[in-house]
Amino acid sequence: MSHPHPTPHPHQPIPSWFPRGVALLREPTLNKGTAFTLAERDALGLRGLLPAHVLTQEDQVARVLENFHRLQTPLAKYIMLESLHDRNEALFFRVLTDYPDEMMPIVYTPTVGLACQEFGHIFRRPRGMYLSLDDRGHVGQILRNWPQHEVAMIVVTDGERILGLGDLGASGMGIPIGKLALYTACAGIDPGKCLPVVLDVGTNNPRFLSDPLYLGLARPRATGEEYDALVDEFLDATQEVFPGVVVQFEDFANHNAFRLLAKWRDEICCFNDDIQGTAAVTVAGIFSALRVTGRPMREQTFMCLGAGEAATGISDLLVQAMVDDGMAEAQARGRCWLVDSKGLVVAGRGDLAHHKKPYAHAHAPVPDFLSAVKALEPTAIIGVSATPNTFTEDVVRAMAAHNERPIVFALSNPTSRSECTAQQAYEWSDGRALFASGSPFPAASVRGRHFVPRQGNNSYIFPGVGLGLLASQATRATDAMFMAAARTLATTVGESDLAQGSLYPPLSAVRHVSAQIAAAVAEIAFAGGLARIERPRDLLAYVEGLMYDPRYPVYA
């Protein structure tokens, strides 16, 4: 059922610059299609250009859903929604906002991964900005080609590590597009202030290099100084062209993600959702799970399968949560373990990347994940490896052998990369697992109990964080903000959610959740002297007042 909005949309006068006639119907940010009233049709030169029957936006939503449900494949549904976005932006966001459970898996994970793989073959109309190596020396000038001049949020990728799918080059543009759609649908950030960007530095994907429909530079991926020159020029230009804009790094490979965040986080307002957003949503899920187990954070032992951006970001925030619970930092760090393709990450290994070293503890080598689980008996396992089916029956049963309520988070995206399914986790633990996943899984029944697993999806976190940064006009995005986001998200999970195995709130509540997170993030900015405005008296009301409303205006 559609969720009605609480207040009517205000009437708006028709400005002198407003397009008329066919030009208006072809402008997606203003087009209402068959919902233009008779008075608007008279005033805007639309008589005869539309069928006589005036529909409401609710009527149009029903028509969209009818056609959506006729389609048989997720990719076909993705193409349909993108075409709707190209025609009628407000209707697109109304559908996303009112039906998040159905629409978010299409516009973002897991379907967006397939859309990126097929990007050149399903391309209809450009969206966002494509900046390539050929544009060096002119990036600022090119950014000024963007028609909106009040950009406040940029999501940028170089396409090297798209979800668990690897190097998709310029075809990775689907990720910033989808991410920014969620910023608007989940947190009400004005779509006119959002800019998706892909930095096209080539690709090492042989399929794309030989595909005549690949839309990016068909050359090997740039590295070193050539790569850094484009990234640095782009980030400098963002602040010149769009002063104070927030930049979110998305799906950069490990070797670039950590160093770019470290280099720029104290220079501009930026964050890496794969590192910090994933950490926050995971820690929020852990907080929820511990309400069920009744055991405090300081008694936990965590093991991540995977040792990249997500794993180290999660571990860093878990350490902070344990420190907040009274542990010394060194002791807390010792409770977090990583397992990579070579086995348990331990201090004796000589081939460790810099980001793994804080979690390389003294221990004998352990060759695989199952052996590590048996040796260290973690209370929680967190899959961020992008390697499917690695939480095997033996692994889950080993977890269940030493934990009354084993915590099993299979967070890799898309669904094809998940470490295990919800049904498997519940069955193999005899219904005792506390489960979360990165992509949606259906409800499951085991031993007479009905479970409703929910996603540990970053869409619970990054939209609210972004809104909080914009609301406070923050100069920096800090780790304390992501901890505040995690704690706030966890408080929105009710006892009835936990009773059915849900460690996160329903997606239908995501706009409310995002507003709460935004207020908490903004509070950190104000308290830390990072805000460029004075603190409003009622911060939550102020945040809610900034949120984009996808209902149509009525032009008087």
Q: Is 356 tagged catalytic?
A: no
Residue 471 and residue 523 in contact, taking contact as beta carbons nearer than 8 Å: no
CA quadruple 412, 417, 423, 424: dihedral positive or negative? negative
What are the structure tokens assigned to 265, written together? 């986080």
| Cα(442)–Cα(460) distance, integer angstroms | 19
CA atoms within 13 A on the CB side of 511: 22
Of 283, 112, 260, 261, residue with least CA distance to 182 = 112
Contact present, 452 and 443 (Cβ < 8 Å): yes
Write out the two tokens for 167.
């190097």
227 is catalytic: no
Here the tokens at position 94 are: 């109304």
Q: What is the DSSP letter of 126?
A: -
Q: Which member of 32, 77, 179, 193 is catalytic?
A: 179
Residue 113: other Cβ atoms inside 10 A: 24
CA–CA dist 439, 251 (Å, integer): 16
Beta strand pairing status for 444-446 and 449-451?
Answer: antiparallel
Q: Which of 32, 77, 99, 108 is catalytic?
A: 108
The residue assigned the tokens 């389609």 is 71
Burial bucket for residue 447 (CB in 10 Å: 0-12, 13-18, 19+): exposed
Tokens of 52: 């006589």
Number of residues in the chain: 556
**What are the percentages of helix, strand and coil residues in the chain, rounded to 5?**
50, 10, 40
Q: CA-CA distances (angstroms) from residue 332 to 44, 251, 376?
A: 64, 28, 15
Angle between helices 479-491 and 510-527 in degrees, nearest 10: 140
**H or E element: which one contains 440?**
none
Phi/psi of residue 354, nearest 5 degrees: -55, -40
Q: Is the distance from CB of 211 to CB of 120 less than 8 angstroms?
A: yes
- Helix residue ranges, H only, 248-328: 254-264, 278-293, 309-324
Contact 438, 431 (CB under 8 A): no
Q: For residues 63 and 68, give the distance between their C-alpha atoms in angstroms, rounded to a whole number.
A: 8
Task: Tally helices (H) and strands (E) across the chain.
Answer: 24, 15
Annotated catalytic sites, by residue? 108, 179
